[in-house]
Structure 1
Amino acid sequence: MHRIRIMTDSTSDLPDSFVQEHHIAVIPLYVNFNDRVFRDGVDLNPEQLYQTVAETDVFPKTSSPSPSDFLARFTPAIEAGDDILFIGISSRLSSTIQNARIAASEFEDHRIEVIDSLNLSAGIGILVMKAVMLLQEESLSLSQLADRIRTLVPKVRTYFAVDTLEYLHRGGRCSAMENLVGSMLRIRPILEVVEGQIIVNRKVRGKREKLMNEMLELFRHDHPYIVASPVVVNQSMCAEDAQKLSQQILDLMPEATITLTQAGCVICSHCGPKTFSIVFLRP
């Protein structure tokens, strides 16, 4: 049985320490500022992204890795004798999965499994974490591991709170009127990933503390059904809020294993600063 190499894309927002420890291959998406193109997490970090927006008033656009990008990462692993499990951003949000499948079709059957996470950010990352855990606990073939991860895809719950509508507006995910009214009334949405797409779960008006309380209430509602390990709290430029939220989760669920992560440039491009999320699995 071949060794299994786990790969993902840069929107999975995994901690660098986890990526390095478990030899996860991360394939970057692209962030574009007019004619300048950067690889997410390679040529550009979130601090630089927000600084560029502040200095130029140009908002970034994002694009997927091409099939040739995937071929460049798949080929050395296959030639080294590895099988590949790739878990990527929702096919309903990006062409990343489609391009990965095009590249995978260039190799013999059963050497590469491409899994559509139907999620984004830490919602992908939590599936990667579970894949690593399963390989540590059991001796699985590639197809067995892929089947196990696919059964988890609909069990991932991803909620994220956005502090400003400006990035969603510039990215085409809310209208100019929604952005104007939301800004005037200080409305901050809590978004949810459902069947691979982003929907508004609720709109919170008022102080940021209320937004955090509403996020915690969503977790409290699901608490009886949550798998304790892992729970992921992801953030963009609001580390203190993420720490506070993590402690509140532990107060509710002391047995939880919480992983703190930072959003990468692609997620930051669409959600903006001071975004935070809670991701967990239901049985």
Structure 2
Amino acid sequence: MSQVKIFADSTCDLPREWLQKYDIGLIPLYVTFGDQTFKDGVDITTPQLYAKVSETGSLPKTAAPSPADFIQAFSPSIEAGREIVYISLSSELSSTYQNAVIAADEFPEGKVTVIDSLNLSTGIGLQVMKAVKAAEQGKTPGEIAEIIARVKSRVETEFVIDSLDYLYKGGRCSGMQNLVGSLLKIRPVIKVIDGKMTPAYKVRGKREKALEQMLSNALEQRDHMDNDLIFVTHSLAEEDALELKRILEEKTDAREVAVSDAGCVISSHCGAKTIGILYVKKE
């Protein structure tokens, strides 16, 4: 067991079996429908989230873990004599990072290192896996923080949004945009830039066209990819994800191309059939 335990939150979208295999601590965000509050991935799954959206006709609110949640999660590892490195959802998207910093101040100095991923979904997960590898090699929290500081600006995160409905319901585009987008079958592509979700471009026409464009963008970078790991992350789009995985395995030198499911918080902002390709560029 490493002296340093790596933590993430539920938005990292890492496969559940990886969390167990690599001893990664996970802190859930919250999803609220009316007066009902659920822990992401603990009390509610992504298919259940979509069923509730259909039932209620509205999107849930999402909320960060409280400082008390972090203290409760971190305490057993600290009491066991371990140090913690926690990699958070982008501070540009949530107060999760700030709440973790507040919690870290409740422990002796240096026991908890909090890192802002400036990313989301497996854009965080890629950084978490780099941290896990460093911890296994005996790196200190400070050394791990330095490694992640060099990695996070090189994470490429690109998602095809299948429908504007969730962006519209969540207040991220106007009703007219939603109507026009639906009529023209416009599929927005989102990138993460400086920690923020940024519309990169739009693809008009069939879903397959948008997926082909995203795949083409990734393959153009194949010579610049860190070949450790590529993620294909999706929200109820497993068939497409497996096909993208097959092509990426065939056309890149990646040691591993992994498929992962988007959790409830990510899905509530992007909607069903959202799919992304995420990787790290070489230094």
TM-score by length of 2: 0.97
2:64 maps to which residue? 64
1:208 maps to which residue? 207
2:238 maps to which residue? 239
| Separation in structure 2 between the aligned mates of residue 195 and residue 255 of structure 1, nearest angstrom | 25
1:14 maps to which residue? 14
1:217 maps to which residue? 216
| Separation in structure 1 between the aligned mates of residue 254 and residue 40 of structure 2, nearest angstrom | 34
The number of aligned residues is 281
| Separation in structure 1 between the aligned mates of residue 172 and residue 24 of structure 2, nearest angstrom | 31
Shift of 1:12: 0.2
Shift of 1:250: 1.9
In the TM superposition, 1:169-180 aligns within 5 A as 169-180=168-179
| Separation in structure 1 between the aligned mates of residue 239 and residue 28 of structure 2, nearest angstrom | 27
| Separation in structure 1 between the aligned mates of residue 76 and residue 93 of structure 2, nearest angstrom | 28
2:5–2:135 contact (8 Å) kept in structure 1? no
1:127 maps to which residue? 127
| Separation in structure 1 between the aligned mates of residue 220 and residue 188 of structure 2, nearest angstrom | 18
| Separation in structure 1 between the aligned mates of residue 74 and residue 31 of structure 2, nearest angstrom | 22
Check if 1:184 corresponds to 2:174.
Answer: no
Shift of 1:222: 1.6
Q: Give the letter for the 2:15 counterpart.
A: P
| Separation in structure 1 between the aligned mates of residue 116 and residue 170 of structure 2, nearest angstrom | 23
Shift of 1:139: 2.1
In the TM superposition, 1:254-265 aligns within 5 A as 254-265=253-264
Q: Give the letter for the 2:187 counterpart.
A: R
**Secondary structure, counterpart of 2:221 in structure 1:** helix
1:166 maps to which residue? 165
1:154 maps to which residue? 153
Stretch of structure 1 that moved more, 92-101 or 125-134? 125-134
Shift of 1:219: 0.3
| Structure 2 CA distance for partners of 1:107 and 1:255, relative to 1, 3 Å | closer
Stretch of structure 1 that moved more, 249-258 or 270-279? 249-258
2:229–2:254 contact (8 Å) kept in structure 1? no
Q: Give the letter for the 1:232 counterpart.
A: F
| Separation in structure 2 between the aligned mates of residue 227 and residue 98 of structure 1, nearest angstrom | 30
Stretch of structure 1 that moved more, 214-223 or 87-96? 214-223
| Separation in structure 2 between the aligned mates of residue 22 and residue 42 of structure 1, nearest angstrom | 19
Q: Give the letter for the 2:193 counterpart.
A: V
1:229 maps to which residue? 228
- What are the Cα deviations for residues 96-141 of structure 1, in whole angstroms up to 9, with x where unaligned? 00000000011111111100000000100011111112233x2211
| Separation in structure 2 between the aligned mates of residue 130 and residue 45 of structure 1, nearest angstrom | 27
Q: Give the letter for the 1:7 counterpart.
A: F
**Secondary structure, counterpart of 2:172 in structure 1:** coil
1:77 maps to which residue? 77
**Secondary structure, counterpart of 1:118 in structure 2:** coil
The runs of at least 4 consecutive aligned structure 1 residues that moved more than 4 Å come to none
Shift of 1:256: 4.1
2:271 maps to which residue? 272
| Separation in structure 2 between the aligned mates of residue 256 and residue 249 of structure 1, nearest angstrom | 11
| Separation in structure 1 between the aligned mates of residue 272 and residue 159 of structure 2, nearest angstrom | 12
Shift of 1:254: 4.2
| Structure 2 CA distance for partners of 1:77 and 1:255, relative to 1, 3 Å | closer
Structure 2 residues not aligned, in runs of 5+ = none
Instruction: Provide the identity percentage.
Output: 45
- What are the Cα deviations for residues 177-200 of structure 1, in whole angstroms up to 9, with x where unaligned? 211111111100111000100111
| Separation in structure 2 between the aligned mates of residue 181 and residue 129 of structure 1, nearest angstrom | 40
Q: Give the letter for the 2:261 counterpart.
A: Q
| Separation in structure 2 between the aligned mates of residue 141 and residue 135 of structure 1, nearest angstrom | 7
| Separation in structure 2 between the aligned mates of residue 247 and residue 239 of structure 1, nearest angstrom | 12
Shift of 1:161: 0.6
2:28 maps to which residue? 28
2:58–2:169 contact (8 Å) kept in structure 1? no
Structure 1 residues not aligned, in runs of 5+ = none
Q: Give the letter for the 2:35 counterpart.
A: D
1:281 maps to which residue? 280
| Separation in structure 2 between the aligned mates of residue 227 and residue 84 of structure 1, nearest angstrom | 26
In the TM superposition, 1:88-127 aligns within 5 A as 88-127=88-127
